[in-house]
Copies of this chain bind each other. A is one copy, B any other.
Amino acid sequence: MTKHKDNQTEDQILKAAQIIFQTKGMDGARMQEIADKASINKAMLHYYYRSKQLLFEAVFNKAFSLLAPELNRILNDSSSIEEKIKNFTDNYISFMIKHPYLPGFIIQELNRNPKFIEKLESNVSFPDITKFKNQVKNEIENGTIIPISAEQLFINILSLNVFPFVASPLIKALVNVDDTTYQTILEARKEDVSNFLINAIKK
């Protein structure tokens, strides 16, 4: 139980902090800017979250726990590799279209402070790929898919799904398309990526 009776202000702060931290990162974010966005006094940030670091961690943990459990669920359900790929791709691209800053934010901050990972790993719902690895091994033996390292396949799935969101300004410039066209391309990827992946590993 929290010592605060009313969590309305607390929520307002967290929402504002999410927007600022996720677009500007820890270093680029300013407490005053978060306070302005939350329409409150700067001292309130410290009253509710004590420090910039703790407020940041609240935002970061919430962001991560928004992505990890779903990944873990898909990795460990009973579906085949092919179904997992379809499931993951469709799920995550849809999710990231709605929250385009999330993956870049998480990756950027993990790069900035590698110690964060230890905290995440001790988290209960931190994704575990052991089942996925066994499944890949089995399906290779069964002849369902071509021989491939499970780790490499996992990295490939992740790359094809996440990178277009992390590097969108760069890709937009390279492919030479505007925002709306890029949006269409991302939409198409919900199907394209899983087809591409399955085509790459199916016998």
Contacts and interface: CB of A to CB of B under 8 A. Distances in A.
Contacts of A148: 192, 196
A152 B189 contact: yes
A148 to B, nearest CB: 8
A32 B106 CA distance: 28
B104 A111 contact: yes
Interface stretch (A37-45, A86-94, A154-162): A154-162
Q: Choose among A25, A108, A111 the residue with the greatest number of B CB atoms under 10 Å from its CB.
A: A111
In the complex this chain forms, how many copies of it are found?
Answer: 2
Given A27-B24, A169-B111, A175 B188 contact: no
Interface string A176-203: 1100000001001100110011011100
B106 A192 contact: no
Contacts of A121: 173
Interface residues on A, range: 35 or more
A167 B166 contact: yes
A95 interface: no
Contacts of A168: 111
Interface stretch (A2-10, A46-54, A112-120): A112-120
